[in-house]
Amino acid sequence: MQLINDTRFYLDGAWVDRPDAPRIAVLNPYSEEVIGHIAAGSAADVDLAVAAARRAFPDFSQTPVAERLALLKRIKALLEERTEEFAQAITAEMGAAITFSRGGQVAFGIAHVNTMIDVLEKFAFQTERDGITIVREPIGVCALITPWNWPLYQITAKVAPAIAAGCTVVLKPSEMSPFTAQMFAQVMHDAGTPPGVFNLVGGTGEVVGNAMSSHPDVDMVTFTGSTRAGVLVAQSAAKTIKRVVQELGGKSPNVFLEDANFEEAVPKGILGAMRNVGQSCAAPTRMVVPASRLAEVEALAASTANDIIVGNPLDEACVIGPLANAPQFAKVQELIQAGIDEGAKLICGGTGLPGGLNHGFFARPTVFSEVTPDMRIAQEEIFGPVVVIMPYLDEADAIRIANDTVYGLSSHVQSADQESARRVARQIRAGQVHINYPAWSGFAPFGGYKQSGNGREYGVFGLEEYLEVKAILGY
């Protein structure tokens, strides 16, 4: 493909070129070749972006709801028109299979905008309670820091509620998958977003992310990424007492009760965990199953994983492509080897490239069994196509294993008896619980317990993170 060199930032309603700024190379994870470069922003660029957002806030915060709804609807329409362009960019920069880029990455990204339109149409910004007038007002200038694994989805999950609330924003996308964000900025421009309401500065977290989270004129920072980086963002933001919303790591359990439909639910669990090459913080990568059914689960899991088509992500038949980048490839290989070294039972996959592939950041769909809670693969977020099967003795043991993690983002429960599933779901310490693989919903609040973060995204809860609550007495 043609080399893409985009050294522009989007500031105060216009594209501003930074041809003299240091450049960051962007690699295609399938070919391992450089496909372009972006400019590495500086603290001075962040100052310009924040100043533009600060100037725009007084007017935009007072816009009628109808105007913000109209803007969101224009954004949605443009995203729909450009679905294929976004899908191709996502596949090129982070390796998602093209069918998943279209039907998952882009479709769910658009769904966040659509959900927020619905929420905004019904949301009451002023209510009366116990004789007190409660007013919900936009918090101010918001710094949005998004990851590489869902390049559009995570942007719309933050930008849509910020716009709905009446906030102004500065976005820093991941430097590893930046072209989707550049295209999104063009959508915001073409949708007629007022100058300063949306700004984009590319670059590294160490420079641009730190400057945004510590900036005295930023009122809120929302970050999605690793727990390690989330700690640094929170520390940086603490100096100016701003609101911090974080969606961080996960090690989500998938608990199978004795009466679950194993033949149907095990394959779904494997495919769900390996969706997006396992590069999802909510992936159900710990399959917690009755010890008496272990052999059955192993056979179903291995059969499903071995049938997954891995290859060129532009191939329509491909189910999963490569991991998104070289550091992630190295991490996944290290942890697969750690599972082998610690004595877990490898039932399929393993280290190295899948058969027939001699380039690309590919990992073999891998399943371990007889995994115990003390193993690294049971505790660390692998972020690759790796599932660990953990046997339990009784329901109390299953719940103990499910909760035996520093994370608490998502979880699953499989059971033919709804009340049994509900009983277990109420005891799992996680921000979401999915019973028998329900449909995804952008209205369900998403966020974590423990080291999976704080605050919530999506739907009404996501909108409220961008609002301050004002009580007016004697109104």
pLDDT tens-digit map of 365-376 = 999 999 999 999
Q: Is the dihedral of CA 325, 350, 400, 266 positive or negative?
A: positive
As a whole number, mean pLDDT of residues 195-223 equals 98
For the chain, residues classed under CATH 3.40.309.10 are 253-442
Q: What tokens appear for 383 in the block?
A: 């972020």
Could you tell me the pLDDT band of residue 26, with boundaries at 50, 70 and 90? very high
The pLDDT of residue 381 is above 90? yes
Cα 230 from Cα 452, distance rounded (Å) = 9
Say what percent of the chain tops pLDDT 90. Answer: 98
- pLDDT tens for 141-153 read 999 999 999 999 9
Task: Please tell me the predicted confidence (pLDDT) of residue 4.
Answer: 85
Task: Give the pTM.
Answer: 0.96
Q: Is the dihedral of CA 113, 188, 104, 431 positive or negative?
A: negative
Pairing assessment for the beta strands 366-369 and 386-392 based on DSSP bridges: parallel
DSSP one-letter code for 355: T
The pLDDT of residue 1 is above 60? no
Task: Please tell me the predicted confidence (pLDDT) of residue 284.
Answer: 98
CA dist list (Å): 382 to 328, 415, 449, 469: 9, 27, 19, 39
Q: What tokens appear for 100 in the block?
A: 């998943």
For the chain, residues classed under CATH 3.40.605.10 are 4-248+453-472
- pLDDT tens for 300-351 read 999 999 999 999 999 999 999 999 999 999 999 999 999 999 999 999 999 9
Task: Please tell me the predicted confidence (pLDDT) of residue 412.
Answer: 98
Of the options 2.120.10.30, 3.40.190.10, 3.40.605.10, 3.40.630.10, the CATH number for the domain spanning 4-248+453-472: 3.40.605.10
DSSP one-letter code for 439: P
- Average pLDDT score, the chain: 97
The pLDDT of residue 71 is above 60? yes
- pLDDT tens for 388-403 read 999 999 999 999 999 9
As a whole number, mean pLDDT of residues 446-475 equals 97
Of the options 3.40.50.850, 3.30.465.10, 3.40.50.720, 3.40.309.10, the CATH number for the domain spanning 253-442: 3.40.309.10
Say what percent of the chain tops pLDDT 70. Answer: 100
Q: How many CA atoms lie within 13 A of 170 on its CB side?
A: 35
The pLDDT of residue 299 is above 80? yes
As a whole number, mean pLDDT of residues 268-281 equals 98
Positions annotated as catalytic residues are 247, 281
Cα 402 from Cα 392, distance rounded (Å) = 10
Cα 259 from Cα 248, distance rounded (Å) = 33
CA angle in degrees (0–180, nearest 5) for 73-102-33: 120
Q: Cα dihedral angle (28, 34, 38, 39), rounded to 10 degrees?
A: 140
